[in-house]
Structure 1
Amino acid sequence: MARGLRPEIGLWLLLLGATLLLGRVLRLLAEATGPARHACPALFGLAILLLWEILTRGFQVPAILLPPPSAIAAAFAANAADLWDDFGQTVLTSVLRGYLLGCGAGFAVAILADRVPFLARGLLPLGNLASAIPVVGIAPIMVMWFGFDWQSKAAVIVVMTFFPMLINTLAGLASAERIQLDLMRSYGAGYWRSLLLLRLPCALPFLFNGLKINSTLALIGAIVAEFFGTPVVGMGFRISTQVARMNLDVVWASITVAALTGSALYGALALAERRVTAWHPSFRKR
């Protein structure tokens, strides 16, 4: 009986030691200054992968339930060409077009609604209503309307990203203080001059907030929409077909590509925000 427990006890001791070591290293990195501090997230991610590998291998978790990271990496390498084609179809074709259309339309309509308050009062309740509509309800309708190619996915993305951009832009335009607006009027500045020189700069943090939120919404919308019809390529297509074939390692490889893409898009926008709004008081307080 004791001999049968030894492998399990050894595994738990290994996990305990790795966890304690990880906690100690992360505390040291959190207290560090300079470039060493930026290594903390990467080290934490590597530690999670290591624990994942140990747990799935040690407890012999069936690969159909949760494959180890090494198997996912092998599937990633074996299907790199297909995954790249999926990335091109989903991200470069559908997401970017739908994202630009949705965010651009939301921004333009927000400027119009700011100029015509009646329009804003009518659109804001619609925005709350649209945010409650599930993407799985929109996607099949858009596929029926616009076909199986990227147009239907872009339409889903436009619906998902339009109102967040609209609401954030309106909130940003309203963030300028009354004393600042009065000062612009005292200089004889009209609506458009005040908009360009004061209100839009004040709205930049809100605009970037909308852009960052929409970067993840656009990717989610495109992938879900591909479940309901697409050419034989795309992240959603790959996930749905490989789940049906029980190839969970390929599914996790596709999920990894989607997660890395979403993180890269969000990080690029956050970096651009840091560059553009470093002067803004709300940014300096961080």
Structure 2
Amino acid sequence: MTLLLRSGQGVLTLLLCLVALVRLPLLAPDAPFPFGMETTALILLLIAIGALVSFLPIGRLARVSVLLVTAHLAAWLLIGGISGNEGQARLSYFLLIAASWLLGWRCISELAEIKPSSRQFTMALRLLIPAIFGAWILILWEAITRGAGIPFILLPPPSAIWDRITGSLPILAADVRQTILKAVLFGYLVGCAAGFIVAILADRVAFLRRGLLPIGNLMSALPIIGVAPIMVMWFGFDWQSKAAVVIVMTFFPMLVNTVAGLGASGSIERDLMRSYASGYWQTLCKLRLPAAMPFIFNALKINSTLALIGAIVAEFFGTPIVGMGFRISTEIGRMNVDMVWAEIAVAALIGSVFYGVVALAERATTFWHPSNRGG
């Protein structure tokens, strides 16, 4: 099946090259900076080499290396040639982009089938595969927006967003400091800690557990656009009101998950602890909390994204003249869409790093759990 898929992708890639060759040139005749014949020939040669590798009986690592070089070098040449020629791409240009993408797809598929021989190699593959996948999202985004001439105000290409990021570092740094380092971190820590403490109390006191959990489910359904303006009225326009929104959003997921986790330990284990004359707190610390750790970390990971969303949305309803939400709301009114996308990209990057840190802490803490074994 793998051989059939590889051969089919190779044949399809060659067919795209042949059709593109018939439909040359790549750009419209009035393009300001047309592709040279040497560049066009090099692109076709690279894609053809990558396609032919699918039929050769060579090692997987060698095939991956050739596919990696040919696919990305061809895509780099195609994107470099469209810069300054926005909206001038012809069908042959998009056919070659599609052929390069097929090579990139084949490269990812080959990487996914490699059996890692060491832990370091496993970690490298876990980073390389999503990196290539993400790179191709950006490549296709860049090629389509520039090749089709999509107006920047509707969807700017990644290169324009990167230029805005590098040209607005002081503004972005101030926004991150206001939103992330103040509102998000404080609200996240307080909300998660409060939810955890109240969950312990609810586990200890039956009427709290029966009364709080239904309220927790109700509060989790509250719309943030309703909570945020109320918190701004209560705590003012600075970061404290945004932190309050984050606390509300992170408190109940931690409460519900921790209570569920504390009930995850088996009855046999609890009976064994009682046979050793263990009290409530000994059983809690030595049995029930360790068993609840996957649930607690699940809440921490959920809250890592909720906190960021809550703080940014809360800034729409009143903030000093700084902050990621403030910047998004004001710049979209000025039609500075590239700045809006820059803020979105920075927020996505910080959120991913935040989530990754929590996930790494989970692996280090719950290494004994079946979900973390053998990986």
Pairwise TM-score range, normalised by the shorter structure = over 0.9
Report what 1:185 is aligned to: 274
Secondary structure at 1:251's aligned position in 2?
helix
* Paired letter, 2:103: L
User: Which runs of structure 2 are paired with 1:47-58 in the superposition (5 Å)?
Assistant: 47-58=136-147
* Paired letter, 1:91: I
- TM-score when normalising by structure 1: 0.96
**Does structure 2 conserve the Cα–Cα contact (< 8 Å) formed by 1:30 and 1:37?**
no
Report what 1:208 is aligned to: 297
Deviations 1:236-283 (A, max 9, x none): 011011101100001000000100011001000000100110012343
Report what 2:99 is aligned to: 17
* Paired letter, 2:238: D
Give the 3 Å change call, closer, same or farther, for CA 37–192 of structure 1 in structure 2: closer
Report what 2:109 is aligned to: 27
Report what 1:102 is aligned to: 191
Question: Is structure 2 residue 153 aligned with structure 1 residue 153?
Answer: no
- Alpha-carbon separation, structure 2, partners of 1:135 and 1:42: 33
Report what 1:138 is aligned to: 227
Deviations 1:189-245 (A, max 9, x none): 100010011100111100100000000000000000001111111100110111011
**Does structure 1 conserve the Cα–Cα contact (< 8 Å) formed by 2:89 and 2:148?**
no
Secondary structure at 1:227's aligned position in 2?
helix
CA apart distance, 1:7: 3.9
Question: Is structure 2 residue 150 aligned with structure 1 residue 61?
Answer: yes
* Paired letter, 1:9: L
* Paired letter, 1:221: G
- Alpha-carbon separation, structure 2, partners of 1:13 and 1:226: 44
**Does structure 2 conserve the Cα–Cα contact (< 8 Å) formed by 1:161 and 1:217?**
yes
Identity over aligned pairs, percent: 62
**Could you say which structure has the higher helix fraction?**
1
Give the 3 Å change call, closer, same or farther, for CA 75–7 of structure 1 in structure 2: closer
- Alpha-carbon separation, structure 2, partners of 1:29 and 1:215: 30
Q: Which structure 2 segments of 5+ residues have no match?
A: 1-22, 30-87
Give the 3 Å change call, closer, same or farther, for CA 163–48 of structure 1 in structure 2: same
CA apart distance, 1:22: 1.3
* Paired letter, 1:10: S
Moved more, 73-82 or 35-44: 35-44
- Alpha-carbon separation, structure 1, partners of 2:152 and 2:94: 21
- Alpha-carbon separation, structure 2, partners of 1:284 and 1:15: 40
Report what 2:320 is aligned to: 231
Q: Which structure 1 segments of 5+ residues have no match?
A: none
- Alpha-carbon separation, structure 2, partners of 1:117 and 1:225: 35
- Alpha-carbon separation, structure 1, partners of 2:332 and 2:220: 29
Identify which of structures 1 and 2 has the higher relative contact order when contacts are C-alpha pairs closer than 8 Å and 6+ apart. Answer: 1
- Alpha-carbon separation, structure 1, partners of 2:372 and 2:136: 32
**Does structure 1 conserve the Cα–Cα contact (< 8 Å) formed by 2:304 and 2:354?**
yes
- TM-score when normalising by structure 2: 0.74
Structure index of larger Rg: 2
**Does structure 2 conserve the Cα–Cα contact (< 8 Å) formed by 1:215 and 1:262?**
yes
- Alpha-carbon separation, structure 1, partners of 2:312 and 2:100: 36
Report what 1:113 is aligned to: 202
* Paired letter, 1:198: L
Question: Is structure 2 residue 354 aligned with structure 1 residue 265?
Answer: yes
Give the 3 Å change call, closer, same or farther, for CA 110–94 of structure 1 in structure 2: same
Report what 1:197 is aligned to: 286
Question: Is structure 2 residue 90 aligned with structure 1 residue 8?
Answer: yes
**What is the aligned-residue RMSD (CA, Å)?**
1.6
- Alpha-carbon separation, structure 2, partners of 1:11 and 1:133: 49
CA apart distance, 1:127: 1.2
* Paired letter, 1:192: W
Report what 2:257 is aligned to: 168
- Alpha-carbon separation, structure 2, partners of 1:100 and 1:87: 17
- Alpha-carbon separation, structure 2, partners of 1:112 and 1:261: 33
Report what 1:278 is aligned to: 367
